[in-house]
Amino acid sequence: MDLSFIINELGEERDDYFRAIAPPIVQTSNFAFKTVAEMRNAFSDEYSTWIYSRGMNPTVDILRKKLAALDGAEDCLVFNSGAAAIFAAVLANVKSGDHIVSVKEPYSWAQRMFEVILPRFGVTVTYVDGTETANFKNAIRPETTLIYLESPNSWSFALQDLSAVAALAKEKGITTVIDNSYCTPIYQRPVEMGIDLVLQSATKYIGGHSDTVAGVLCGSRAMIERIFNSEYMNIGSGIQPFNAWLLIRGLRTLPARLERITRTTDTVIAFLKEHERVERVLFPLDPSFPQYELARRQMEGGCGLLTFIIKAESCGTIERFCESLRHILMAVSWGGHESLIIPKCAGMPPEQFSSTIEMHRSLRLYTGLEDADYIISDLKRGFDAIAGLP
């Protein structure tokens, strides 16, 4: 389906609301029926009707249609966070005694679910280095029901060969789920590679303005309908109409923003790679990246998230660098208009810092919608502030 059609028209029945260009926010909790027969009919199939906004809502429906089409999937559910999308997708595919094979170091709240919540219900997880498909094959047991992927990983950018893992899972009747937050469906389409369920944090690029938390889950109609009638309705964490409206607005400019950010990121990477205080840059679509060939094969773009390793002997030097920046903000998340940075050492007590461990010296940078020169001059300010410091 044409991208411009999806973004500008799909799902928008303007004749139903005064030919308004922007869709209405149907801010209602419930919907009324004229006859008992109508009501009875609705009760028999909540998935296809308006009854109550914990289930379906017309504003959310416009968004669902667009997001499903973007992923090339039959259907979609939108949650009030990416974490809720992860929770529902995983929960829907395990029962007591089942086993999950997950890529190592998945998004932190996926990991928390695997390690804190699922063991209470007798579900076990094996983590594998996903850069080798054979590792998945070796970890699969008779009771494995789910393979959990995140490609690229949002810190190390480690990739999995999605077509190969999907083929392996299909052969064994195992469901595959991927966290596709890094690429969005604009830059990577896992459904076409055979992955069953594709999720992303819409907080990042879909929202795009750092003002909404939301999550997307796409898959076949059968899988999505099953999740709707169970986990989605039970967890009660579907997106609210106003937030759905913000995401529809975010979608209008998604390809334009990604295109701009992609160009800026290339310029920023070229600057970083030349700088004497930068040991190396990690970015899946940089030729120096170990899985560059695979990235080229299954991703159409890399966008704004990269990691660079700074040459520093102490945690204090990294702190000084970050605190000297005037425009690049120190904050979690990414995908918005503003450039952001997180030093890995912020996640550990300073006395644990060891300059011999490369990951401790890593900084994750997100390049936003500012001019490349504006971002680069700020990075220069940071490097200048640590000139001469070990």
Site for ligand PLP contains 82 (CB under 6 A): yes
Site size for ligand PLP (CB under 6 A): 11
Site for ligand PLP contains 225 (CB under 6 A): no
CA 88, 151, 284 angle in degrees (round to 5)?
Answer: 155
- Shortest spacing between CB 305 and ligand PLP, in angstroms: 9
Tokens representing 327 are 């425009």
Pick one of 83, 94, 178, 328: the residue that binds ligand PLP (CB under 6 A): 83
- Shortest spacing between CB 110 and ligand PLP, in angstroms: 7
Site for ligand PLP contains 343 (CB under 6 A): no
Q: Is 217 helix (H, G, I), strand (E, B) or coil?
A: strand
CA dihedral of residues 27, 29, 32, 33 (deg, nearest 10): 120
Pick one of 203, 265, 291, 362: the residue that binds ligand PLP (CB under 6 A): 203
- Shortest spacing between CB 122 and ligand PLP, in angstroms: 25
Largest CA distance in the chain: 79
Closest to ligand PLP by CB, 78 or 285: 78
Closest to ligand PLP by CB, 204 or 360: 204
Q: Which of 315, 193, 202, 323 is closest to 254 using CA atoms?
A: 202
Q: Return all residues near 358 (Cβ < 8 A) that are at least 6 apart.
A: 279, 309
Under 8 Å between Cβ of 225 and 75: yes
- Shortest spacing between CB 41 and ligand PLP, in angstroms: 35
Question: Which one of the spans 22-30, 39-47, 78-86, 347-355 is the region binding ligand PLP (CB under 6 A)?
Answer: 78-86
Dihedral (CA of 276, 278, 282, 283) sign: negative
Question: Which one of the spans 76-84, 97-105, 139-147, 244-252 is the region binding ligand PLP (CB under 6 A)?
Answer: 76-84
Applying the rule CB under 6 A, the residues between 162 and 191 that interact with ligand PLP are 179, 181
Q: Which of 353, 260, 261, 367 is closest to 308 using CA atoms?
A: 367
Q: Site residues (CB under 6 A) for ligand PLP?
A: 81-83, 107, 154, 179, 181, 201, 203, 213, 215
